[in-house]
């Protein structure tokens, strides 16, 4: 194939460092894989049963682009209770990633700037590139707290939106209510769209979750079922925000994803009624085990949510440290996958207790 056929934008989009680790794990013998943010619990039985029942009942065709009315109504009722906004609509998306893509492509013009908080989930930068925009990283080191003053200093006439992720991937930091409110009010005052990635909101261990939509009606929120319900392969998410923006996202979905998987939407209706307490408690315990094992030997900001820890590499760069870890059959992700810097590395503790013990309590002592 002629390389000239490849679009220029693809030169600026790298293959996912996380997916590279995923592929590497397939070729390793009994790896200790702390690299992937994949819940180790299965989809709850009632949600499975709902998906199977939907398939057997013949609900296998396209749904309307906006998503099943019953699922949207259930989410809308929760949003009305939580926020009470006069203008907040819901779109069912093909995963949280699908919602992010639709949102960014619906608002970003070529040359526009998207502010991301560093460290960030790598997809944000690449979606900015896909939309023709430019990502601008705002440093949150060393404590990884979002700082509205730093964000405001980065705003230019080309700034189109700010992307917030709390609980955060890769650091596990949960922004406080004061931090979230300051950022929400800044974006409202400067008339900049705030996009809040809330896919980990169920996993907050030390303080309640806060959404910027509590203080700014123009926030676009993307959320989903992948992490909370173990449905990573089912590609079921949703977005909610001002109806005018949701309309544009739905229009774009018509010509891209078409709709989220129909059987997964039927499962989502049931999943929303399930108690996530046991899963959250299990991950809180895993978080505590990771912190107890690493805090004496590593510079570690205590993760407060999601299921990641982001310690500083004790020597060399994070890439060098991760390469040495591979020699000990341990897979971790170097920080430069998520950051301008290569100083820290990400651990996912979304694994069974045996794997976590092998990785955190045994392997790190050998590197």
Of 330, 336, 78, the residue nearest 221 (C-alpha)? 78
10 vs 364, higher pLDDT: 10
> Domain extents for the chain?
3-43+276-366, 45-271
Percentage of the chain modeled with pLDDT above 90:
88
What's the rounded mean pLDDT across residues 110-128?
Answer: 97
Question: What does pLDDT average to over the chain?
Answer: 94
Domains 3-43+276-366 and 45-271 share a fold: no
Q: Model confidence over 213-227: pLDDT tens digits?
A: 999 999 999 999 999
Q: What is d(CA 115, CA 76) in angstroms, rounded to the nearest whole number? A: 28
* Least-confidence region, from 24-28, 40-44, 89-93, 174-178: 24-28
> What confidence score (pLDDT) does residue 214 get?
98
- Helices 262-271 and 69-82 sit at what angle, rounded to 10 degrees? 40
14 vs 367, higher pLDDT: 14
Q: What is d(CA 41, CA 83) in angstroms, rounded to the nearest whole number? A: 31
Q: What is d(CA 179, CA 161) in angstroms, rounded to the nearest whole number? A: 17
- Phi, then psi, of 302 in degrees rounded to 5: -60, 120
> What confidence score (pLDDT) does residue 167 get?
98
What's the rounded mean pLDDT across residues 98-119?
Answer: 98
Q: Which fold has domain 45-271?
A: 3.40.640
pLDDT band at 134 (very low <50, low <70, confident <90, very high): very high
> What confidence score (pLDDT) does residue 367 get?
65
Q: Give the DSSP H/E element, type plus range, for residue 160.
A: strand 159-165
What helix, strand, coil percent values describe the chain, rounded to 5? Answer: 45, 15, 40
pLDDT band at 10 (very low <50, low <70, confident <90, very high): confident
> What confidence score (pLDDT) does residue 353 get?
93
pLDDT band at 26 (very low <50, low <70, confident <90, very high): low
pLDDT at 362 over 80: no
Cβ atoms of 236 and 265 closer than 8 Å: yes
pLDDT at 28 over 80: no
Cα separation values, 181 from 111, 126, 140, 175, 194, Å:
28, 27, 17, 10, 12
Percentage of the chain modeled with pLDDT above 70:
95
A 10 A CB-CB count for 354 gives 9
Of 299, 308, 334, the residue nearest 319 (C-alpha)? 334
Q: Model confidence over 288-297: pLDDT tens digits?
A: 999 999 999 9
Range 3-43+276-366: architecture per CATH: Alpha-Beta Complex (3.90)
> What confidence score (pLDDT) does residue 235 get?
97
| Triad 80, 205, 209: Cα angle to 5° | 25
Of 329, 347, 345, the residue nearest 337 (C-alpha)? 345
| Triad 318, 300, 345: Cα angle to 5° | 25
> What confidence score (pLDDT) does residue 8 get?
85
> What confidence score (pLDDT) does residue 344 get?
98
What's the rounded mean pLDDT across residues 236-265?
Answer: 98
């Amino acid at each position: 194939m002629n390389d000239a056929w490849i679009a220029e934008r693809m030169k600026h989009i790298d293959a996912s460092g996380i997916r590279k680790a995923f592929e590497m794990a397939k070729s390793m013998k009994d790896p200790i894989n702390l690299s992937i943010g994949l819940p180790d619990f299965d989809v709850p039985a009632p949600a499975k049963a709902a998906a199977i029942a939907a398939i057997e009942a013949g609900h296998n065709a396209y749904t309307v682009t906006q998503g099943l009315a019953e699922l949207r109504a259930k989410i809308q009722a929760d949003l009305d209770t939580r926020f009470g906004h006069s203008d907040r609509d819901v779109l069912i998306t093909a995963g949280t990633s699908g919602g992010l893509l639709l949102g960014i492509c619906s608002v970003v013009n070529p040359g526009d700037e998207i502010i991301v908080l560093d460290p960030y989930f790598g997809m944000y930068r690449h979606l900015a590139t896909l939309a023709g925009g430019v990502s601008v990283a705002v440093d949150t080191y060393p404590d990884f707290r979002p700082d509205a003053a730093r964000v405001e200093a980065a705003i230019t006439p080309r700034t189109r939106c700010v992307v917030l992720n709390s609980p955060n991937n890769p650091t596990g930091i949960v922004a406080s209510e004061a931090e979230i409110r300051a950022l929400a009010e800044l974006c409202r005052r400067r008339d900049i769209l705030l996009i809040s990635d809330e896919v980990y909101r169920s996993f907050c261990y030390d303080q309640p979750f806060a959404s910027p939509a509590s203080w700014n009606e123009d926030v676009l929120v993307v959320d989903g079922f992948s992490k909370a319900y173990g449905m990573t392969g089912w590609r079921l998410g949703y977005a909610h925000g001002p109806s005018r923006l949701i309309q544009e996202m739905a229009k774009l979905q018509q010509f891209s994803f078409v709709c989220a998987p129909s059987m997964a939407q039927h499962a989502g209706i049931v999943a929303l009624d399930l108690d996530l307490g046991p899963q959250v408690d299990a991950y809180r315990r895993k978080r505590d085990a990771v912190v107890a094992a690493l805090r004496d030997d590593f510079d570690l900001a205590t993760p407060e949510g999601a299921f990641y820890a982001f310690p500083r590499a004790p020597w060399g760069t994070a890439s060098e440290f991760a390469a040495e870890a591979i020699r000990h059959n341990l897979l971790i992700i170097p920080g430069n996958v998520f950051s301008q810097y290569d100083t820290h590395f990400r651990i996912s503790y979304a694994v069974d207790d045996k794997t976590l013990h092998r990785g955190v309590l045994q392997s790190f002592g050998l590197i």
